[in-house]
Structure formats: C-alpha cells, structure tokens
Structure 1
Amino acid sequence: MTSELLDAALVEEATKKSGLIWVQGSGDAGTGPARPLWHVWHAGAACVLGDGPGEQPLTGLTDGGEAVVTVRSKDKGGRVVAWPATVVELAPGSPEWDAAVAELKGKRLNAGDGEEMPLRWRRECRVLRLQPHGTTLPLPDDSLAAPPPATPAVTREPIPAALPRLLRRKRR
C-alpha cells in the first residue's frame, strides 16, 4: 500500500512540474513513437488538448484506450517516471470539460484568439484526460532515440563560400 501511495505521489508531482509529457497511445500499437504533448494536471489526471487546426496532434489516443506517459525533468530534460494511463475523452460542455478547459486556457501559450479559444476548442478540438492507474513502469536503459521521419525537404543549394567571412565581419 505504501509503494502505491509513493508511486501516485511521484506521478502527480513529476507531471505537475513538467511542462511537457511524452505519450504513446495504444492506437500506435506499441510501435509508434511517443509524442510530446503540453498538458495540465487537473483533478488527478493529465489533461491534454488537440486535434484541431493549429493544435497538437493526439494521434493514437482513443477514448477508452490505454497510453504510456513518460514524464521528463523540467530542468535537466531526463526521464523521471513512466506510468500507464487510461484515456478518457471529455464531452464538450460537460462540467468536467469546462473545468479542464479553464485550466488548459491558462497554460496555452501563443494563442491568437484569446477569449474565443474555448469556443473554438469546443467546435474543433478534443480534450482528453490521461488517468494514471497501476504502478509506475520501469524506465528503459537506452535512449529510445528514433530516426527522424522521412521528409521531402532538401537544401536547395550549398551556402556561398563568402558567407562565413560576412558573418564574422558583422559580429565585430
């Protein structure tokens, strides 16, 4: 019983203090990469918002599904704890949705629509609760670094030979 309470306290404190969590949903079939998501800790769960225009993608997270959440240290960036979660989608306009959105609105940075944000979120986005359950998961020993996804982006031309000299000259 004591270890369960310590695990719950660790999950809550680490998740509250971290501005970013890494989430791998069951829809990723355990093979997809974990995705970084901004969140708030509210009422015993991490609440995330996304899948709307200009918002973070919530790929692999389905209502009633499972997810693995990895929390990083805010100052050093290393993994602190990993925990299993149940994904619950909040219904727009419900009291739980309103309370979660009030917390999320306070943490949302760089939003162009200010006070209209909750209305846009109600129309276009999903709000999910990632509710911890069970005990914490062991942290892996390796880096879990994944190769970058393929992209059509390329460098058009090599940089001009004179550019390094021009940049040095401007610093003086």
Structure 2
Amino acid sequence: MTSELLDQALVEEATKKSGLVWVRAAGAPAARALWHVWHEGAVCLVGDGPGEQPLAGLTDGGSAEVTVRSKDKGGRLVTWRATVSVLGSASPEWEAAVAELKGKRLNAPDGEEMPARWARECRVLRLVPAGSTLALPSGSLAERPVPSPATTRRPAPAALPRLLAGRRRKG
C-alpha cells in the first residue's frame, strides 16, 4: 500500500510541475509531446482541431503510457499507464477542465472565444492514472517530428545580418 501511495504522489507532483508530457497511445509506434494541465487527479489535454495539438490514437476508453519529464533538466522522471476518456462539451467535467486549459494555452489566436471553438472543433481528453508506475524506457526514444503546417524555420530576412551587426557596434 505504501508503494502505491508513493507512486501516486510521484505521478501527481511530477505531472503538475511539468508543462509537457510524452504520451504514447496503445499500439502507437512512438510517443508524442503534448502540453497539458493536471486537474482533479488526471492529465487534461485539448487537441485535434485547427491550430491545436494532434491527439491521434487516443480514444475514449483506450489506454496510453505517459512519461513525465523534469521541467528543470528535461530528463524522464516517471512513466505511468493511463485510461483515456473524452469529455463531452456540455458536461461539468468539460467546463472545469477547459477553465484550467484556457489559462495554460499560449498564443491562442482567439482569446475569450477559445472555449467555444474547442467545443465545436476539438476534443478534450482526460488521462487518469491506472495502476502503479512503469519502468522508465531505456534509450533516447527520439523520433522525427510529426509532419505539421506549423514551422519556426523560415528564411532569414535579407536585412537581418545588417540589423544585428548594427546592434553590436552600438552596444
């Protein structure tokens, strides 16, 4: 019993403090990095809509493995099995989860309209810990990024080298 309580405390504390978890749906070849919030004993996720993170493979009643990283060092802290449930947009659970998620969503294009968009176009999931912790995976688990229209790599503007050189001379 003590081991179960320690596992539960480790999962909750580590997951609360980490803004990113690695989630591998049952049968999926690789884990996917997802932002989340810890709310009422579970990880809450939003995605599968335009401009939101993909939640491929996570189905209602399914299972997943969640690996939590250290916010400071980025190393793996704990891996645990979860039961996945989809929250219905009219439910009190959905409202509570969305209130938490809304506060953590960075760079949302629609601000206050975000919950209405999520209700129309996205899925809100709850990943509840199921059982004790798992052994941490060995190896890097590095994978190629999932194809996405989002990118941070664009050609540098032609004037950028001159602008940067000008700052160095002034400073």
Under a length normalisation based on structure 2, what TM-score does the superposition of the two structures give?
0.85
Runs of 4+ in 1 over 3 A off after TM superposition: 147-151, 165-172
Find the counterpart in structure 1 of residue 57 from structure 2. 60
**Post-superposition shift, 1:142?**
1.4
Find the counterpart in structure 2 of residue 20 from structure 1. 20
Write the distance in 2 (CA, Å) between the matches of 1:40 and 1:169: 42
Gaps of 5+ in 2: 149-160
Write the distance in 2 (CA, Å) between the matches of 1:120 and 1:169: 44
Write the distance in 1 (CA, Å) between the matches of 2:118 and 2:147: 31
Gaps of 5+ in 1: 152-164
Find the counterpart in structure 2 of residue 76 from structure 1. 73
Is 1:51 the counterpart of 2:29 in the alignment? no
Counterparts of residues 11-160 of structure 1 (less than 5 Å) = 11-26=11-26, 29-31=27-29, 33-147=30-144
* Paired residue type of 1:84: R
Under a length normalisation based on structure 1, what TM-score does the superposition of the two structures give?
0.85
**Post-superposition shift, 1:60?**
1.0
Contact 2:28 2:57 in 1 (8 A): no
Decide which structure has the larger Cα Rg and report it: 1
Identity %: 71
2:131 partner SS: coil
Give the RMSD, CA atoms, in angstroms: 2.4
